[in-house]
Amino acid sequence: MLTTGNQLRAARGLVAMAQEALAAAAGVHVNTIRKMEAHAAGVITSPAHIVLKVQLALEAAGVEFLNHGRPGVRLQGGQSRHEGGESHDQA
């Protein structure tokens, strides 16, 4: 589950997705993404349905959200999108 601004920023970084591209994919305004990321290590305070739209857009791009005691992200299947199919452990 997407919970913090830093987690959102890290998720975008894993799939090299710009804020504008994520906003378009999620159907939200780019300022929504910026405000969510501005929470940094704090909990995102956007409405749950907005957070879910952003999370689903990132999951569709290949991100897996982790919350085993603290928020984290990794690529689904442990593969880097930038390495031509080579497997890299992102955990």
Write the pLDDT tens digit of every residue in 1-60. 999 999 999 999 999 999 999 999 999 999 999 999 999 999 999 999 999 999 999 999
Q: Under a CB-based contact definition with an 8 Å cutoff, are residues 42 and 6 in contact?
A: no
Rg (CA), the chain: 12
Q: What is the pTM of this model?
A: 0.82
- CATH number for the domain spanning 74: value is 1.10.260.40
8 Å CB contact between 71 and 60: no
Number of domains in the chain: 1
38 inside domain: yes
Give yes or no for a contact between 18 and 53, defined as CB atoms under 8 angstroms apart.
no
Residue 89 domain-assigned? no
Range of the domain at 35: 5-78
Residue 86 lies in a domain: no
pLDDT in tens, 71-89: 889 899 865 444 333 333 3
Assess whether pLDDT exceeds 90 at residue 67. no
